[in-house]
Structure 1
Amino acid sequence: MKILLTFIFALYYTCTLGQAHNISAGYQKPEDPLVIKNLEDWQDLKFGLFMHWGTYSQWGIVESWSLCPEDEGWTQRKKEHGASYYEYVKNYENLQKTFNPIQFNPQKWAKAAKAAGMQYVVFTTKHHDGFAMFDTKESDYKITDPKTPFSTHPKANITKEIFEAFRQENFKIGAYFSKPDWHSEYYWWPYFPPKDRNVNYDPQKYPDRWEKFKQYTFNQINELTTNYGKIDILWLDGGWVRPLSTVDTTVDWQKTIKLEQDIDMDRIGSMARKNQPGIIIVDRTVPGKWENYVTPEQSIPEQPLHIPWESCITMGDSFSYVPNDNYKPTKTIIETLVKIISRGGNYLLNIAPGPNGDFDPIAYERLEQLTPWININKSAIFSTRTIYPYHKDSYYYMRSKDSKHINVFHLSEGETYQQPSLYRFEIAPEQSIQDIKLLGYRGKLKWKKDKHIITIIPPDHKIEYVAVFQITVK
């Protein structure tokens, strides 16, 4: 069944070092019972960790995009890294020869993320530049190749180490994989210069070359879904690699797609499902049966979406590591989580490891600050679903899956949380209330219900970041 969606997006954050993605206009509900179950479980998790990491972290630049010969803000190249485009590409590719993140310790990441309430991880096994952070047999442009200094490290197969560490902490495991590969001669054929992000030759004119790229992609995804333990999510980026018939010309970035780039997702998806029964496949921005959930980037929909969705948003300004990045305050991160889950989505928060193999200390600080608030309010966050009126004024609503509780979150302006003189919010008039608690407060609240309005007298209690009222209904 196909559900057509129309909605307007509020660009919640301005993406200065990346690219905002649209959501495809159609959603096709999966039919596989194992996928449906996996999606339902994934929607219970609410909060995940995204990690963009590659050789580009050594220069502290945007992930992959400086290789793209488009004149956009996120594709700009620094002159000190190469006087010409081709010199720049050569120097960029030579970053493989110096990449040695010896402080890499995924167990440290997993424990910090778990304490902060995160329950699934999505890691960039290969971004658009084609550098594989796993031991692929299809290319020597990879973390385990002898040209890479880290290849001699006991944890050289970074993807395997990350997946195992997070699996030990009971995370769902997501493998990000870029469909376009700008290093592959079968995508950017060296005979022609690249013109933009798209394939630089006509696949219909050179079908044998395109067939080799399709097989190369198939083989790498087959490796990831057979050699790396249980994979719950295959997160496919690079939505311009798609059948030409699926291009939406009302979307600016899709207007550049002029060539047929059908990579045969039916073959890839069927293989991945055979290797990993029930795996969620996210073919971003390409409508159809392989886009099992949709992925607004650096933005939050203004209204609830009654389909599976996830906002991927950076903790800093960039998806990739940038020295002295501007990390969002903890209060902002929590408020973002509340807004996303009140509209039915999951929050995939990106933290980028640096060239040494670790997070910035500020990122750990933010995760530590999240931990006590999450622990106090977890019963109102996880395994919840949307409920009308979703959001009104400073109040955001959710319900427990069993509908025994309605959770009302109150946000305030400013750097610190400020209680109002009275809490006043609406609830369905027919709703019979058994009790109301302020999570984290052990005293008894003074409240009353007048038709559809609840009024609560603020208790003498310090609230960090966001107040959460849990209403038990009969």
Structure 2
Amino acid sequence: MKKLTLIMLIVFAMQQITAQKIYEATWESLDSRKDPEWFSDAKFGIFIHWGLYSVPGYTAKGNYAEWYGNHLKKVLNEKSSKHDSIRHLAAKSYQDKVYGADFKYSDFRDLFTTHEFDAKQWAGVFKKSGAKYVVLTSKHHDGYCLWPSKEASKSFGLPWNSVESGPKRDLVGELTNAVRAEGIKMGLYYSIWDWYNPYWSAEQQEALKSGTLAVDLNNIEAHSKSSNKEVKESMDGLSKYIHEVMYPQFKEIVNNYQPSLIFSDGDWWMNDDLWETRPLLAWLFNNAPNKDEVVINDRWGQVRGEHGGYYTTEYGSGFDNIDKPWEENRGIGHSFGYNRIENLEDYKTSQELVYVLIDIVSRGGNLLLNIGPRADGLIPVIMQQRLIDIGDWLDVNGEAIYGTKTFGRTCQWSAGKKPSEVRGGFKAEYDVMALTVEPKEGMASKEVFFTQKENDLYCICPVYPKGKLIIKDLDTEIVEGVEMLGYDKPLEWKKQGGNIVINVPPLTISEVPCNFAWTFKIKNISQ
């Protein structure tokens, strides 16, 4: 009997192993993977751009400071755009003035000390912010790694990671442990593009980008045997970089740190055939130690908004009505990396950031809000304050955010002309205050945002209602009750035709549960 039981257990175990899906290196197979639910439930995450570029911490306003090295080395010519010229000249002028013309980007390693970095303090701030996940730049486009990557140092021919140079610390490991100790998911950003990796030279990259090298993307393998020496060398360099740097690094961070989320980047100017990302993702889904948990984005080689895990926008405005998880990522100011010349007016207020979060969640998305720590390891106090303010609001209203789904309509508009909402993936015009508390004359505003959890409807008001709140055209036969989150007394309400009319209490400033965006919960509606 015992032998029979053992045989049955072995057979069952083998059936379970056989039943596990094996993913192939095709988008049809990769896209069939169900996205882990934790991501869509999380709603709010913290992005962190931190590296050698944090030492100068500088760029012309409105640009990305983490691109400082690229701006510095940019060679201007007659085809250069005005934008390129502004960024390059600003970086070059600052570099010469502060560090000297002979100071190289690699010399920033000695100044990237991180001597004030306290992973537990960072994680404590993230916990207070209400964020459910954190994403750290393990490697940005400059190739410098915040973990002990031997491939980085070998390819660059000098110590090119935070353990062998600069901090002499495994920054990825320290923060990963601290964040997880707070019960927060830990993710890693990894750039597949490496600007100046010697295996694949900047000149070769530029020739491929500009189209100088005529490459048939449908016959890539043939280029390794091409009679065109320049094409062959470029493709050989790309292959060497991918297989001797990118692949090993990617697998190393997955195996060593088991990130809950992988945010790929640097993909935009080559397709996924050239980047060879599909085999890497198949390996991830089949072999990662936490393969059932890990979430990926859509930045794997000109496939944004088409393939991958969740879809992304960047300083954009997100999506409407898509059957796919998505995320808007942006900084508090105009840069991801720390930019020392940004002033108070360059930063969004706490109210704006909360309203951005609410608007995005009402449309089914997540907000990944970036901070740019300084090179010494301190998070600028104003950034900490913004995060704590968001957390204070979520302490009261988080029930209407975390784990919610979209309602049949995302918001209720006031009277007036409804403004057109521009949807864009990159630096789209998106003024949430004009859509809510500061509408232009004659224009309608979003007077109520909607989210839903099971049978409860959450109505989030950007402006505190005076006297009555009317939720219009709510098709429900049953309402169990109405309450305001953070206020411990039930509210009077009535059903009037197709509307729900709520009597809003006239609270004093010391009685209101939060400083802005008040949530009214209509319990157990039927639809």
State the TM-score bracket (shorter-chain normalisation).
0.7 to 0.9
Amino acid in the other structure paired with 2:39 = W
Match of residue 10 from structure 2: none
Match of residue 228 from structure 2: none
Alignment partner of 2:284 out of 261, 265, 272: 272
Alignment partner of 2:167 out of 118, 127, 150: 150
Do the aligned partners of 2:318 and 2:326 also contact (CA within 8 Å) in 1?
no
Do the aligned partners of 1:305 and 1:343 also contact (CA within 8 Å) in 2?
no
Q: How does 1:146-295 map to 2 (within 5 A)?
A: 146=164, 148-151=165-168, 156-189=169-202, 194=206, 204=223, 205-206=231-232, 207-215=235-243, 216-228=245-257, 230-240=258-268, 242-243=270-271, 262-273=274-285, 274-276=287-289, 277-278=291-292, 279-284=294-299, 286=303, 291-295=308-312
| Equivalent position SS for 1:177 | strand
Do the aligned partners of 2:312 and 2:318 also contact (CA within 8 Å) in 1?
no
Amino acid in the other structure paired with 1:309 = W
- C-alpha separation between the residues in 2 aligned to 1:232 and 1:302? 23
For residue 51 of structure 1, report the CA deviation from its aligned partner: 0.4
Amino acid in the other structure paired with 2:337 = S
Could you say which structure has the larger radius of gyration? 2
| Equivalent position SS for 1:292 | coil
For residue 111 of structure 1, report the CA deviation from its aligned partner: 1.4
Alignment partner of 1:45 out of 42, 47, 55: 42
Q: Which moved more, 1:293-302 or 1:386-395?
A: 293-302
Alignment partner of 1:353 out of 343, 363, 373: 373
- C-alpha separation between the residues in 1 aligned to 2:116 and 2:212? 38
Question: Stretches of 4+ moved more than 4 A in 1?
Answer: 26-29, 81-84, 87-90, 192-203, 287-290
Q: How does 1:56-455 map to 2 (within 5 A)?
A: 56-61=53-58, 62-64=65-67, 66-67=69-70, 69=74, 71=81, 72=83, 75-76=87-88, 77-82=90-95, 91-140=104-153, 141-144=159-162, 146=164, 148-151=165-168, 156-189=169-202, 194=206, 204=223, 205-206=231-232, 207-215=235-243, 216-228=245-257, 230-240=258-268, 242-243=270-271, 262-273=274-285, 274-276=287-289, 277-278=291-292, 279-284=294-299, 286=303, 291-301=308-318, 303-323=320-340, 325=342, 326-393=346-413, 394-400=447-453, 403-412=454-463, 418-455=464-501
Amino acid in the other structure paired with 1:46 = K
Do the aligned partners of 1:49 and 1:118 also contact (CA within 8 Å) in 2?
yes
Unaligned runs of 5+ in 1: 1-25, 247-260, 413-417
- C-alpha separation between the residues in 1 aligned to 2:188 and 2:103? 28
* Number of residue pairs the alignment of both structures matches: 413
Q: Report sequence identity in percent.
A: 25
Do the aligned partners of 1:67 and 1:75 also contact (CA within 8 Å) in 2?
no
Do the aligned partners of 2:39 and 2:295 also contact (CA within 8 Å) in 1?
no
- Quickly say closer, same or farther: Cα 1:202–1:337, change in 2 above 3 A: same
| Equivalent position SS for 1:180 | coil
- C-alpha separation between the residues in 2 aligned to 1:328 and 1:182? 31
Match of residue 466 from structure 1: 517
Do the aligned partners of 1:239 and 1:283 also contact (CA within 8 Å) in 2?
no
Do the aligned partners of 2:187 and 2:260 also contact (CA within 8 Å) in 1?
yes
Do the aligned partners of 2:146 and 2:163 also contact (CA within 8 Å) in 1?
no
- C-alpha separation between the residues in 2 aligned to 1:172 and 1:162? 11
For residue 56 of structure 1, report the CA deviation from its aligned partner: 0.8
- C-alpha separation between the residues in 1 aligned to 2:92 and 2:278? 43
Amino acid in the other structure paired with 1:227 = N
Do the aligned partners of 1:64 and 1:127 also contact (CA within 8 Å) in 2?
no
Amino acid in the other structure paired with 2:374 = G
Q: Which has the higher helix share?
A: 2
- C-alpha separation between the residues in 2 aligned to 1:427 and 1:271? 49
Do the aligned partners of 1:81 and 1:88 also contact (CA within 8 Å) in 2?
no
- C-alpha separation between the residues in 2 aligned to 1:89 and 1:67? 16
TM-score by length of 1: 0.80
For residue 314 of structure 1, report the CA deviation from its aligned partner: 1.0
Do the aligned partners of 2:42 and 2:132 also contact (CA within 8 Å) in 1?
yes
| Equivalent position SS for 1:78 | helix
Amino acid in the other structure paired with 1:469 = F
| Equivalent position SS for 2:407 | coil
- Quickly say closer, same or farther: Cα 1:142–1:174, change in 2 above 3 A: same
Unaligned runs of 5+ in 2: 1-26, 59-64, 75-79, 154-158, 216-222, 224-230, 414-446
TM-score by length of 2: 0.72
- Quickly say closer, same or farther: Cα 1:431–1:47, change in 2 above 3 A: farther
| Equivalent position SS for 1:362 | helix
For residue 124 of structure 1, report the CA deviation from its aligned partner: 0.6
Do the aligned partners of 1:180 and 1:241 also contact (CA within 8 Å) in 2?
no
Amino acid in the other structure paired with 1:176 = Y
What is the root-mean-square deviation of aligned Cα atoms in Å? 2.9
Find out whether 1:457 has 2:503 as its counterpart: yes
Do the aligned partners of 2:30 and 2:281 also contact (CA within 8 Å) in 1?
no
For residue 187 of structure 1, report the CA deviation from its aligned partner: 3.1
Do the aligned partners of 1:176 and 1:234 also contact (CA within 8 Å) in 2?
yes
Do the aligned partners of 1:112 and 1:364 also contact (CA within 8 Å) in 2?
yes
